[in-house]
Structures are given as C-alpha cells and as structure tokens.
Structure 1
Amino acid sequence: MKLTVVKWKDVAGWRWDVPDDEVCGICRVPFDGCCSGCKIPGDDCPLIWGQCSHAFHMHCLIKWLETDSSQQQCPMDRRPWITAK
C-alpha cells in the first residue's frame, strides 16, 4: 500500500524557560500567557530578565520603569534595574 500526502499542517508549541508556577511580578499573569497589552503570547510579548534574576513581561516592565514611583528599580527587590545580557 502506498500513501501520498496531499496536505500537511504543522502544529507546534512553545514555552518560556521558566518554572511552571512563575508569574510576572507586575501583572501576575503566568509567563506562558501574555501581558494585558498583548493578545497573543510568544515573540510579540517577550520576557525580560534583570541582573537580579527576576523576569517580567517586557511590556509590563517598560510601563513600570516609565512611572515616577519605579525610580528605575526592579519591582521585586528594589535594586537598580539592569537588563541581563
């Protein structure tokens, strides 16, 4: 018996490389979800890590750092925010 594939649809999944129980410290949404400003998780709603090892949705962190009360500090430990390389 010989089969011919007529149509092929790939299905893929992805996950951020963070523990399952971790949520964004700002919006409290799991990292495999997306921030309130995004509709679809993934490359359009990336995560960003600080040198302090805390991670956030990039958009949440940008909004946080733009506020006067942030004083350009990590929202979790209040150390000066420096993005990890």
Structure 2
Amino acid sequence: MKMKIKRWQAVAVWKWDLPDEDDVCGICRNVFDGCCPDCKSPGDDCPLIWGQCSHVFHMHCLLKWLEQESSRGQCPMDRRPFVAASA
C-alpha cells in the first residue's frame, strides 16, 4: 500500500536553552559583557583575547591558564598551541 502526502505542517520547534558559546569565556564561563572572577567591574581592566583558533577568553583567565604547567601553552578549548590573533 502506498501513501501520498498531500500537505505537511510543522507542529513544533525546539532549540537548546543554553547561552551562546560565543558569548562566554571558555575558561570561567562568565559572559563577556561582565568580567572575569578577578575583576571587580567590566571594562578596560578586563580585556578579551582572541586566539588564531578563534576562541576568546578574558585576559586574566587566559594568563592564569597559560601559567599552569599542565596547560602546556595550549588553548583550553581545542588543545592546539595558543597563539594570539594579530589585530
């Protein structure tokens, strides 16, 4: 028996209810509009650093990460050697 669909309508749509990964630091998971855990207020004292790998971090979070021996100078997100993107 064959059936032919004459009309189709979507009855539901879903999406993940999570913050956009591009809007949070990959280390501390705080939003970029705010500041890292070490800073008291957002602004120039808490700049963002982009890597050539396209991941973005608060400067203080990244510096702490890279100071750890276990980081081996790698991006915390994809473990490639971290190289800051040039402006």
TM-score class, shorter-chain normalisation, is 0.7 to 0.9
**Correspondences of 1:1-85 after superposition (within 5 Å):** 21=20, 22-85=23-86
Distance 1:31 1:71 in 2: 25
> Is the radius of gyration larger for structure 1 or structure 2?
2
What fraction of aligned residue pairs are identical, expressed as a percent? 74
CA distance in 2, matches of 1:77, 1:69: 14
Partner of 1:83, secondary structure, is coil
Q: Which runs of 5+ in 2 are unaligned?
A: 1-18
| C-alpha RMSD of matched pairs (Å) | 1.1
Partner Cα separation in structure 1 for residue 43 and residue 80 of structure 2: 27
The runs of at least 4 aligned residues of structure 1 exceeding 4 Å deviation read none
Q: TM-score, normalised by structure 2?
A: 0.73
**How many residues of Structure 1 are paired with residues of Structure 2 in the alignment?**
66
Instruction: With the length of structure 1 as denominator, give the TM-score of the two structures.
Output: 0.75
Cα-to-partner distance string for 1:11-65 (whole Å, 9 max, x where unaligned): xxxxxxxxx8321010010011100100111111000000000000000000000
